Amino acid sequence: MTVSSSSVTGRVNDEITVEHEGENIEIGFNCRLLHDAVSVCDSESVKISLTSPLMGMTIEPAEKEEGKKFLMLVLPVRLNK
């Protein structure tokens, strides 16, 4: 997965190793909201589910613990190209 960010002070691109199923899509998210969603997930790794660039994504722990339920929804933002 390629994660990129740009602002008035600069631009950054980073590659993250992921397990992937389905077609590639290009989608944008508010980095603060994405960071907050992943940060509160008390897990070593997370499962991110996406269906299309117009739909939100869900974030949940990769390994579910019995008695604990956690699901975050992060909505996309329009990408400026």
Q: In Å, how far from its chain's centre is CA 23?
A: 16
> In the chain, how many domains are there?
1
Q: Domain for residue 80, yes or no? A: no
Q: Give residue-wise pLDDT tens across range 12-36.
A: 999 988 888 888 888 889 888 988 9
pLDDT score for 79: 81
Q: Give residue-wise pLDDT tens across range 31-80.
A: 889 889 888 888 888 898 988 888 899 999 888 878 778 889 999 988 87
Give the residue numbers spanning the domain of 11. 2-74
Q: Domain for residue 79, yes or no? A: no
pLDDT score for 17: 87
Taking the alpha carbons at both ends of the chain, their separation in whole angstroms is: 19
Question: pTM of the prediction?
Answer: 0.73
| Distance, CA of 81 to CA of 73 (rounded, Å) | 25
Q: Which CATH number do you get for residue 26?
A: 3.10.150.10
